[in-house]
Amino acid sequence: MAFSRRSGSLMLLLAAVIWGSAFVAQSLGMEHIGPFTFQAVRSLLGAVALAPVILLSGRISKRKGDIPSPEQRRLLRRGGLLCGLALFVAVNLQQFGLRDTTAGKAGFLTALYILIVPAYGLFLGHRPRPALWVSVLVAAAGLYLLSVTEQFTVRTGDLLLILCAFAFAAQIMLVDHYGVRVNGVKLCAAQFLVCGALSGVAMLLFERPAIGPVLDAAGPLLYAGVLSSGVAYTLQILAQRTTPPAVASLMMSLEAVFAVLAGMLVLGEQPTPREYAGSGLMFAAILIAQRAEGPRLEKEPLPGDS
């Protein structure tokens, strides 16, 4: 399935809206259950939500005689494992960081991956245009206003969120590599199964999960599992077929702005003037980045991809 660069950008924008509001769901969910429990249930819900789509697309492919090759199955297993591992590290660091900061600030600290993805790309031979680095510097200034206090201190929760940004950057680069080579929806489901399984092991080792608290957190879990995981991450994988990872990361970083808005509307959080200024700089960075990159040629998928 091919998408234009414009449709890819729209999908990433929608994903950013969903992810931004999911910070509120994550904060509300932890009023009842622990971080590992939240991420285990959320990830498995995301995989379950994608199961009907996978079954339907599988039947359609069979009718067309489009059977995945052994090479493609191998790539799907490897991609699902690596993307799932990166996602496990990222979402759990984020979840623990949320215990020590607001939803809005967590969104902006997570968006530090916009600075990390281009740096990763340099080691892989990617050469962004100079204007893209300008957008990264503008975004860095915005993130500074949001995360560093006037006393130049960073809280423990902030540090965890900064570390989670490195893991999210790795996940973005892995999706860029595997997302054009295998079925995107299957890759998304595979990474959630891996993330959910690893989070489940950590849940049993470090927390005391119970049915009652999980049911109390059903609303936030359903939102984070079905929409934030099942829908938004699938949009990311499909959109990155036509969007370079550096630009994709900048588009997705708009989740930070939507996290602030959702925190204000739902949790009553009130941004400071510094946070408003940081949000404005983030928007400016996105606009610069969109003009910095030309259209991306879609990589040729392996035989049997659909």
Q: What is the pLDDT of residues 231-287, one digit of tens each?
A: 998 898 888 888 888 778 878 888 878 888 888 888 888 877 887 888 788 778 777
pLDDT exceeds 60 at position 294: no
pLDDT exceeds 90 at position 127: no
pLDDT exceeds 90 at position 94: yes
CA-based R_g, the chain, Å: 19
What are 137's two structure tokens?
């510097």
Distances (CA, A) of 218 to 23, 224, 253: 15, 10, 27
- Is the distance from CB of 19 to CB of 223 less than 8 angstroms? no
What are the sequence ranges of the domains in the chain? Answer: 5-61+68-292
For a pLDDT cut of 90, what percent of the chain falls above it? Answer: 42
Global pTM value: 0.83
Mean pLDDT of the chain: 84
If pLDDT is split at 50, 70 and 90, which confidence band does 128 have?
Answer: low
Alpha-carbon gap, residue 64 to 59, rounded angstroms: 9
The pLDDT of residue 61 is 77
**DSSP letters spanning 227-279:** IIIIIIHHHHHHHTTTS-HHHHHHHHTTHHHHHHHHIIIII-----HHHHHHH
Which position has the higher pLDDT, 145 or 89? 89
If pLDDT is split at 50, 70 and 90, which confidence band does 149 have?
Answer: low
Q: SS3 of 150, please?
A: coil
156-178 and 245-252 are packed helices; what angle lies between their axes, rounded to 10 degrees?
140
Q: What is the pLDDT of residues 99-119, one digit of tens each?
A: 888 887 788 788 888 778 877
Q: What is the pLDDT of residues 187-220, one digit of tens each?
A: 999 999 999 999 999 999 999 999 999 999 999 9
Query: How would you write 74-120 as a 3-class SS string?
Result: HHHHHHHHHHHHHHHHHHHHHHHHHHHCCHHHHHHHHCCHHHHHHHH
